[in-house]
Structure 1
Amino acid sequence: MTRDFTFSRRTFLDRVLTASAGVGMAAAAPWAGVAQAEPTGSDRVRLGVIGTGDRGRALIQNILKTRNCAVAAICDPYAPHLDKARALVPAGTATFTDHRAMLDARGIDAVVVATPLDLHARHSLDALDAGLHVWCEKAMARTIKDCGAMITGARSRSKVLQIGHQRLFNPTYLNALKRAKAGEIGEITQVRASWHRNRNWRRPVPPGSNLDRELNWRLYRARSAGLMTELATHQLQVANWFMDGLPTRVMGSGSIAFWKDGREVYDHVALIYDYFDGRKTIYSSLLNNARYGCEEQIQGSKGTIEPELGRIYMETPPGSVPALARMRKDVQAGRKGAIPIGGATWFPELPVTTPGDSLGWGEYDETMLQFEGFGEAVRSGKELPGLLRQAYHASVASLLGEQAMDTQQAIAWPSDLIPV
């Protein structure tokens, strides 16, 4: 049976709860059930965006779609990025080249941090010190220690800290989780996830400039963990979510296998995350083959969910008939066909090719939805429950994966993480 959703410009609550209401969702996605109020008058939460590169500009475009947030200021020290962002926002929007000047100028309620990973903690903590709420891109920070400092900083100041894991707001994923919690695919024992691309990830640098480490920060260890923090953190969050738990350890192998251009981060990673009772997440990411793209396979004893593709597949598709029973029906119906008497005793166990069942697609944008959720959190002064925990553990998992590959040893899940 196909289950589709139609989403219009309704409230954040309506759009998310359409998918998430049901068995087990209160525990798995508590933020989806937080009551939302319509904005009073024409007031919107005023956001100052720090970082207006490609990702920052994409966030600005999503913020402009929301019903409860507005871009009140933009900031970037790199003029070409700032000029492109200025073209997206209303005329007269305050513009800065230094984030501290933006914080000192006031006029905003919260900050959006879309800067290179190694700057996340500094920019977030500066904003919190200025009495502002913070929405920060994933991964949280370059080190586990800095991830914890961001949480401590927000909690000690009673401010909202939200991290950009948009799948937590995607109604297709929420419906997938609802059906998994209802037991439709049985006991989940493995998650397979991959994010494969075929491009070098290197951005052009103006001739004669020394901006390589500024514009290509993803390629250098001091600034990024590469594939682990820029891509894997999304899917590790999904794995933890569906596993309803945290890894016990991680092992892996990483290499610069293809793009030998002076980069310091791996262009090919393969990892195994162990969970309680022997369950596993198997993850791979590479930058020279895009055949399998971005996908997650949630594998249970009764079926498989592929939320990125919006499909659910059962191990025994409805209406399937065992071979002997099918042959008996053919004989009874007078249908003729060859019956093999001898030959191969083994046949390849090929992937299931049934079309599966739709998990629902609709007219929504999960990045916009997460900003509407953030707007409501800022308005109430209370973080959406459970979100920060998911983000923190996903960032920790990605950084532990980097450690496992670097040391070529299995790394245990830390016992001293900040409780969230």
Structure 2
Amino acid sequence: MNERDFDLTRRGFLDRVLAASTGVGMAAAAPWASAAAAGIQRGDRVRLGVVGTGDRGRALIQNILKTKNCTVAAICDSYAPHLARGRALVPAGTPSFADYRAMLDARGIDAVVIATPLDLHASQTFMALDAGLHVWCEKAMARTIADCGGMVSRARAARKVLQIGHQRMFHPTYLNARKRAAAGEIGTITQVRASWHRNKSWRRPVAADATDRQINWRLYRDRSAGLMTELATHQLQVANWFMDALPTRVMGSGSICFWKDGREVYDHVALVFDYPGGRKTIYTSLLNNARYGCEEQIQGSKGTIEPELGRIYSEDPAAVPALAQMQCDVAEGKKRAVPIGGATWFPELPVRTPGSPLGWGEYDETMLQFEGFGEAVRKGRELPGLLKEAYYASVASLLGEQAMDSGRALEWPRDLVSV
């Protein structure tokens, strides 16, 4: 697979990306993607009702409108300014509601898309399932581990699709990276280093017709776990996926060390997740320095994959002979010091080799996951493996919060719902 395979505009995830990704390892690495590729056909579009038309909800609407098997059939938000902005994105005459129950009672939809604050996810999922609807819900799944399990159990009992918004599982770069890791290209994976660093307060201005808890819900403990549920969930899913395992325990430290503005959630977290065989995921997230941004480093005995950057690196890249390098320097008119003698020890600085590309797609993978969801709804069957990945990622993020709060290393729960 090379960059040409990913030279896509709108020719389609189903038609090109997975076709380029087929072969040994893909079904095991991403069974949901393989199942989606086997479907997608034109015909009646799956009718989605979107609840929550804030920034994220509107981004989802824009991606749904790009799909070829889904449509936005209704929107809902209890905050009038957000609802008005949502209306501007959908065709005139699209039903809009200020009350979620009213949208469910009105019928006319096949599934619900939930893009509301975290503490509402479970109750809104339960209501949709009870109304006979399929559910696509933003990550993290819910505010508590018990509610995450409850969502899985209720969906299975209702025989409805429950899909969680982990778009990296539909990203061509990540799919290619996972396939190559599974094929052994970077050797035995023993550590994942992941971070999501920003330099902003995460606090939004509050209009006169709203409350701080309504707009800045991410900063309140009863509504969110902050960095752990809004950011870390993404990368813990990636770590579990590449490790092909679940953590055995987690330890960590969290603090409010910079933004002293009355928030209740940590603005700086550092955690270590242990995996079988002594392997580890090291995760950090903070809100006052963006130098290292959002990244994952999948580290194996033979190489490293950095999927956010779309690169794969070898631990033993082909060396350029010194004389050949000197010849190139002379030809290009470059001057550099020639090492004749010096210190006997040099620090082991980061390797600066360019690596090789993993490919990149010219679209938002959020659109691709909705095409997969649309196909799952049409067939009445969830995409295999997808909910399991999402559930364990949410559990890991919430367990990490508990470990930081308690100041103790916590074992992976043994009473989780079977997925």
TM (norm. structure 1) is 0.94
Q: Tell whether 2:68 aligns with 1:67.
A: yes
The structure-2 alpha-carbon separation of the partners of 1:274 and 1:19, relative to structure 1 and needing over 3 Å to count, comes to: farther
Counterpart mapping for 1:337-356 below 5 A: 338-341=338-341, 343-356=342-355
Matched to 1:293, the amino acid is: G
SS at match of 2:247: coil
Partner of 1:50: 51
Counterpart mapping for 1:148-187 below 5 A: 148-187=149-188
Asked whether the equivalents of residues 2 and 357 of structure 1 are also in contact (C-alpha less than 8 Å), the reply is: no
Partner of 1:39: 42
Structure 1 residue 327 displacement after superposition: 7.1
Partner of 2:289: 289
Partner of 2:113: 112
Counterpart mapping for 1:223-302 below 5 A: 223-302=223-302
Counterpart mapping for 1:122-201 below 5 A: 122-201=123-202
Matched to 1:280, the amino acid is: K
In the alignment, the residues of structure 2 paired with residue 120 and residue 311 of structure 1 have an alpha-carbon distance, to the nearest angstrom, of 35
1:41-74 CA-to-partner distances (Å, cap 9, x unmatched) read xx10000001000000000000000000000000
RMSD of aligned alpha carbons: 2.0
Partner of 1:377: 376
Structure 1 residue 364 displacement after superposition: 2.6
Partner of 1:30: 31
In the alignment, the residues of structure 2 paired with residue 305 and residue 399 of structure 1 have an alpha-carbon distance, to the nearest angstrom, of 26
In the alignment, the residues of structure 1 paired with residue 119 and residue 54 of structure 2 have an alpha-carbon distance, to the nearest angstrom, of 15
Identity across matched positions, percent: 76
Structure 1 residue 2 displacement after superposition: 5.4
In the alignment, the residues of structure 2 paired with residue 210 and residue 2 of structure 1 have an alpha-carbon distance, to the nearest angstrom, of 50
1:88-136 CA-to-partner distances (Å, cap 9, x unmatched) read 0000000000100000000000000000000000101100000000000
Structure 1 residue 316 displacement after superposition: 1.3
In the alignment, the residues of structure 2 paired with residue 29 and residue 337 of structure 1 have an alpha-carbon distance, to the nearest angstrom, of 49
In the alignment, the residues of structure 1 paired with residue 138 and residue 206 of structure 2 have an alpha-carbon distance, to the nearest angstrom, of 24
Asked whether the equivalents of residues 19 and 174 of structure 1 are also in contact (C-alpha less than 8 Å), the reply is: no
SS at match of 2:96: strand
Matched to 2:190, the amino acid is: T
1:268-310 CA-to-partner distances (Å, cap 9, x unmatched) read 0000000000000000000000011000000011110000000
In the alignment, the residues of structure 2 paired with residue 71 and residue 264 of structure 1 have an alpha-carbon distance, to the nearest angstrom, of 35
SS at match of 2:42: coil
The structure-2 alpha-carbon separation of the partners of 1:85 and 1:349, relative to structure 1 and needing over 3 Å to count, comes to: same
Partner of 2:305: 305
Asked whether the equivalents of residues 142 and 223 of structure 1 are also in contact (C-alpha less than 8 Å), the reply is: yes
In the alignment, the residues of structure 1 paired with residue 303 and residue 326 of structure 2 have an alpha-carbon distance, to the nearest angstrom, of 29
1:5-59 CA-to-partner distances (Å, cap 9, x unmatched) read 122433442244145323322112101111114123xx10000001000000000
Partner of 1:418: 417
In the alignment, the residues of structure 1 paired with residue 91 and residue 210 of structure 2 have an alpha-carbon distance, to the nearest angstrom, of 32
The structure-2 alpha-carbon separation of the partners of 1:301 and 1:94, relative to structure 1 and needing over 3 Å to count, comes to: same
Matched to 1:39, the amino acid is: R
Structure 1 residue 210 displacement after superposition: 5.5
Matched to 2:371, the amino acid is: E
Alignment gaps of 5+ in structure 1: none
Asked whether the equivalents of residues 22 and 178 of structure 1 are also in contact (C-alpha less than 8 Å), the reply is: no
Asked whether the equivalents of residues 63 and 71 of structure 1 are also in contact (C-alpha less than 8 Å), the reply is: yes
In the alignment, the residues of structure 2 paired with residue 169 and residue 338 of structure 1 have an alpha-carbon distance, to the nearest angstrom, of 48
Structure 1 residue 245 displacement after superposition: 0.4
Asked whether the equivalents of residues 46 and 377 of structure 2 are also in contact (C-alpha less than 8 Å), the reply is: yes
Structure 1 residue 234 displacement after superposition: 0.1
Matched to 2:47, the amino acid is: R
In the alignment, the residues of structure 2 paired with residue 328 and residue 97 of structure 1 have an alpha-carbon distance, to the nearest angstrom, of 70
Q: Give 4+ residue runs of structure 1 displaced > 3 Å after superposition.
A: 1-4, 326-331, 336-341
Matched to 1:177, the amino acid is: R
Matched to 1:69, the amino acid is: C
In the alignment, the residues of structure 1 paired with residue 339 and residue 235 of structure 2 have an alpha-carbon distance, to the nearest angstrom, of 46
Matched to 1:350, the amino acid is: L
Matched to 1:276, the amino acid is: P
Matched to 2:192, the amino acid is: V
Asked whether the equivalents of residues 40 and 371 of structure 2 are also in contact (C-alpha less than 8 Å), the reply is: no
Partner of 1:101: 102
Asked whether the equivalents of residues 198 and 293 of structure 2 are also in contact (C-alpha less than 8 Å), the reply is: yes
In the alignment, the residues of structure 2 paired with residue 151 and residue 338 of structure 1 have an alpha-carbon distance, to the nearest angstrom, of 64
- Count of residues in Structure 1 that have an aligned counterpart in Structure 2: 410
Alignment gaps of 5+ in structure 2: 331-335
Matched to 2:300, the amino acid is: G
In the alignment, the residues of structure 2 paired with residue 202 and residue 273 of structure 1 have an alpha-carbon distance, to the nearest angstrom, of 29
SS at match of 1:183: coil
Asked whether the equivalents of residues 271 and 282 of structure 1 are also in contact (C-alpha less than 8 Å), the reply is: yes
Partner of 1:405: 404
In the alignment, the residues of structure 1 paired with residue 125 and residue 239 of structure 2 have an alpha-carbon distance, to the nearest angstrom, of 26
SS at match of 1:221: coil
Matched to 2:273, the amino acid is: Y
SS at match of 1:193: strand
1:313-367 CA-to-partner distances (Å, cap 9, x unmatched) read 111112345xxxx479979xx9x975544x4222121111111100001223200
